[in-house]
A and B are shown apart, each in its own frame.
Chain A
């Protein structure tokens, strides 16, 4: 069980700056994020796209913004729990008990949800019966490539993940690469390599095809794929891999008794608190009259939520407003003498 003054859900720009604000005012915090890296949408969706409306930063990419925010956290010791998703939130006495899908457990008076538009999850195959084989014969990521050795693997998708795994697995497996159109969006060199492997008979390429159905009993045996022109092909296969990118889903947050408005959480604009005492929502996921989904708004919301956390984390102390330019205690926390 980890005790912390505040738990932040989401390591995007808003979550990161909220962590900064908490540490600056003398509270400790930990951060959980479902992605395997820090940065949220900025890293996952637009690492290379320039952003022009961060105050005092005329232009920066999603990656640069993330790197700068991480840099700004350097004076502080903050534990990140990546590739973990918060599953359960329960009130026990005056504390929130929080559990992740990996079993990490927190006890905290404050939870700040900085979850953007929810957690990133892989987009899955449409035919319902695919669920039956998920994690045994059908995968959306590769954890142990040795299981594919000598087998037939059908890979779906048109991006770098699909192409890279097709190349890699073709070394010791029979690979079918299937994509819904005849253009791929991978790096040019990768695509060239795939076409070479196709010529050598190492990869069977099926374009303008999508998965129609899967067949087998306990074990997956074959799949049907269907062409744009409705033509059907039956392929024997041992494994199926799908790489269709990530989608954002609110996930378990929907079950925590919070007031939701579509996919957002209603908050007040003083503490950014939800209808549950000690649970706050900041950034794109929060909603109030006049809400702007801008990164700069998230920074403001996080700063106020952090102050609100102080009251519950240090009930016997009084929060004192200070500037980093002059306060010796703040400067000490920042590692400046």
Chain B
């Protein structure tokens, strides 16, 4: 289990334990954390699991997969530290990861 913190746009913070092997998106959906829609179910075909990764973490996590930036172009208010949470696979290396959620997904 790995500790992940999701911070909603309004500042409300949720720290949960997510099973390794799941994605950061799945961790949020399975724990009913509001703010991640994941319309396409994790196939990188939409941009509704968009998160901002805290700067100090952004360079530590595995870099973007092919096509992820293309999808992020279609996200709501993308920033340089934007990621799709369905592409972030939870492992021990991510313990303590903090992601901020955008104001909305669509």
Contact = CB atoms under 8 A, between A and B. Distances in A.
A249 B48 CA distance: 11
Contacts of B69: 181, 183, 185
Given A248-B39, A263-B39, A126 B45 contact: no
A46 B106 contact: no
Interface residues on B, range: 10 to 19
3 closest cross-chain pairs (CB), A and B: A245-B74, A45-B45, A185-B70
Interface residues of A, number: 23
A76 interface: no
Interface stretch (B2-10, B12-20, B52-60, B76-84): B76-84
A293 B41 contact: yes
Contact of B73 (A46, A158, A249, A293): A158
Interface string B42-74: 010111100000000000000000000110011
A293 B29 CA distance: 15
B22 interface: no
B23 to A, nearest CB: 16
Given A45-B45, A45-B46, A46-B45, A123 B74 contact: yes
A180 interface: yes
Contact of A185 (B40, B43, B73, B106): B73
B83 to A, nearest CB: 14
A123 B47 CA distance: 11
A248 B106 contact: yes
B74 A244 contact: yes
Among A45, A46, A247: residue with most chain B CB under 10 A: A247
Nearest to B37: A263
A159 B39 contact: no
Given A41-B45, A159-B73, 15 more contacts: A41-B40, A46-B45, A117-B46, A123-B74, A123-B76, A123-B106, A126-B77, A158-B70, A158-B73, A159-B70, A180-B73, A181-B69, A244-B74, A245-B74, A247-B106
A228 interface: yes
A109 interface: no
Contacts of B41: 293
A13 interface: no
Nearest to B73: A158
